[in-house]
Every structure is written in C-alpha cells, then in structure tokens.
Amino acid sequence: QVQLVESGGGSVQTGGSLRLACAAFTYSYSVNCMAWFRQALGKEREGVAARSLRGRTYYADSVNGRFTIDRDISRNTLYLQMNSLKPEDTAMYYCAANTYDCSLGSWFSKDWYKSWGQGTQVTVSS
C-alpha cells in the first residue's frame, strides 16, 4: 500500500474555487491510476475523477467541465482543481491509488483501490 496525504480543503461560497493536493509517499512510477473520491454525509463514497500515469483522465458527469485532475510526477502529487463549486459538492474528499492503469479496472469504484488517504473536507455554502 501507498501512503497518501491530502490537503487543500476548506470552506467556500457557491461559485468559488479550491485546489486539493494529494502527496504520495512512494516511488512515483509504482503508482499508476490515482483518483479523487468524495463522500457526503449519509451517502456512499463516489468517484469524482481519475488520472492514469500516461495522462488519460476520467470524470464523473457531475463534475465534468468544472473540475480538473492533474498530476506532477516529479513531486509525486495529484491535484484536483475545483471551479464553480456548488453546495452539492460538499463532502469529504479522498485520494486513492492503484498500481494498475485506470483503463484496466473500474476507476469509479472504491473497491478497486487499495490505498487511501485520510480525507480533506470541502464545504460549499449557498
């Protein structure tokens, strides 16, 4: 398993932006698919976005066009730029990692990932 540490959460108003970061404490090329999940109070954890080592990206319909996932290989860090935030984006956001390419599994399924961060809270007020 890989140690993942998220940062960057906070409270913003509707329409605001936040940038989350997830530092992976392992050899960069040992982690292939990295993803962001979120879990709102009383709801299931859901996939938000994922990025494979080769750069292919995947997004949930609910965030497509508003969120951007990116990865700095040299810093071994995954990012999630969140723009045009809505109250329904309020959740705990988690970083996840897998040694396989995102295309080889269900990137949106929490059961496909073996490494998880501790989460960072995002709150969007109306």
pLDDT above 70 for 1: yes
Q: pLDDT tens across 24-64, in order?
A: 998 767 899 999 999 999 999 999 999 999 999 999 999 99
In the prediction, which pLDDT does 28 show? 67
In the prediction, which pLDDT does 26 show? 81
Residues 6+ apart with CB under 8 A from 122: 9, 10, 12, 18, 20, 38, 82, 85, 89, 90, 91, 92, 93
CA distance 49 to 38: 10
Q: What is the mean pLDDT of residues 91-117?
A: 94
CA distance 11 to 36: 18
pLDDT above 80 for 101: yes
User: Average per-residue pLDDT in the chain?
Assistant: 95
The mean-pLDDT minimum among 16-20, 60-64, 110-114, 118-122 falls in 110-114
CA distance 20 to 120: 8
Higher pLDDT, 106 or 21: 21
CA distance 23 to 120: 13
pLDDT above 70 for 94: yes
